[in-house]
């Protein structure tokens, strides 16, 4: 009897061990959406829409910036923030990132006042338990456009990096530089709290090899990935990207994290949110979460 029990125990242990890779794989890649691109910037209903479109999580925008010293951010209001956290829990949608998209139009490298806006973002992250934020450089702070802009970006990101590191969070930046140049940029910034928000469309626009760029940049330097290309067709129909090959590269790199849909909308119906984002989320899940299909 004891021998039979021992055999059963050993068998169950083996089965459990065999199941571990599959269990780990489920959480390795997560698929996210962006409230701004869903046309619901800082609107609570974006959470339920993310669930409806079967996304795992939502990146929430910090609100407009304009000429104000900081973002029009409603999430610092306790009652509104609690509504978001409750909606996320009720819908099973993770709020994985805050986005400072106001800096697409405003100059992060040139504005006299930038610290308050970044500080408010980091404070909101801490209050909401969010570990990553997106800080775009925008057209005005294209690092490749000149030494003065590059120097300004680096000096400011050194300060932001210290702020983020002290708060235990990461600020993800997106540039048009090559992977080799981005590695050099990160080295000059010198902060583990500043990483790259890799965007598939950037190497494609620049005529570079997407898969080689991922390998060159390396897993430790990539905070999140904009799994997207320019608006023309859905990801599934995009001849420029082989997502199965992307997954093989990321698997080999042992990278894990959020794949976030930004664009890749059908150009004939760019404002049809459910049509576009539902299709892109479904395809990303098919490729990166096959065990859940």
pLDDT tens digit sequence for 154-185:
999 999 999 999 999 999 999 989 999 999 99
CB atoms within 10 A of CB 86: 12
State the CB neighbour count (10 A cutoff) for residue 40. 21
190 and 166 in contact (C-beta within 8 Å)?
A: no
* pLDDT beyond 70 at 9: no
Phi, psi of 51 (to 5 degrees): -65, -45
Alpha helices in 28-71 (DSSP H): 45-52
- Which pLDDT value is given to residue 146? 84
The fold of the 28-288 domain, in CATH, is: TIM Barrel (3.20.20)
What pLDDT band is residue 149 in, cutting at 50, 70 and 90?
very high
Contact call for residues 200 and 230 (beta carbons, < 8 A): no
256 backbone dihedrals φ, ψ, rounded to 5°? -145, 150
Among 85, 50, 122, 75, which residue's Cα sits nearest to residue 281?
50
215 within 8 A of 198, measured Cβ to Cβ: no
- What is the per-residue pLDDT for 189? 97
Tell me the three state secondary structure of residue 39. coil
**138 pLDDT higher than 90:** no
| pLDDT over 90, % of the chain | 85
Average pLDDT, the chain: 91
The span from the CA of 57 to the CA of 73, in Å, is 20
Mapped onto helix, strand or coil, the DSSP state of residue 293 is: coil
**Count of beta carbons in the 10 Å neighbourhood of residue 169:** 18
d(CA 16, CA 22): 10
Q: What is the pTM of this model?
A: 0.89
């Amino acid at each position: 009897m004891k021998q039979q029990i021992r055999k059963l125990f050993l068998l169950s242990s083996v089965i459990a061990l065999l199941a571990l890779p599959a269990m780990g794989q489920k959480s390795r890649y997560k698929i996210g959406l962006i409230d701004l691109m869903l046309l619901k910037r800082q609107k609570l209903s974006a959470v339920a829409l993310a669930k409806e479109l079967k996304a795992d999580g939502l990146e929430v925008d910090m609100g407009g910036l304009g000429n104000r010293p900081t973002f029009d951010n409603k999430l610092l209001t306790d009652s509104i923030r609690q509504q978001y956290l409750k909606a996320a829990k009720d819908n099973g949608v993770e709020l994985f990132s805050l986005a400072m998209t106001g800096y697409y139009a405003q100059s992060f490298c040139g504005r006299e006042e930038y610290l308050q806006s970044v500080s408010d973002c980091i404070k909101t992250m801490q209050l909401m338990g969010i570990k990553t934020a997106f800080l775009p450089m925008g057209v005005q702070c294209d690092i490749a456009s000149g030494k003065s802009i590059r120097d300004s970006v680096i000096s400011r990101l050194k300060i932001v990096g210290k702020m983020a590191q002290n708060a235990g969070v990461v600020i993800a930046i997106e540039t048009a530089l090559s992977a080799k140049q981005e590695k050099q940029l990160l080295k000059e910034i010198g902060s583990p709290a500043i990483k790259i928000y890799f965007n598939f469309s950037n190497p494609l626009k620049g005529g570079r090899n997407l898969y080689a760029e991922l390998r060159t940049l390396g897993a430790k330097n990539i905070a999140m990935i904009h799994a997207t290309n320019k608006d023309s067709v859905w990801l599934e129909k995009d001849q420029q990207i082989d997502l199965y090959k992307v997954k093989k590269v990321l698997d080999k790199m042992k990278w894990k994290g959020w794949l976030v849909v930004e664009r890749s909308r059908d150009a004939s119906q760019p404002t049809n949110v459910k049509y576009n984002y539902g299709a892109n989320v479904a395809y990303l899940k098919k490729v990166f979460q096959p065990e859940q299909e």
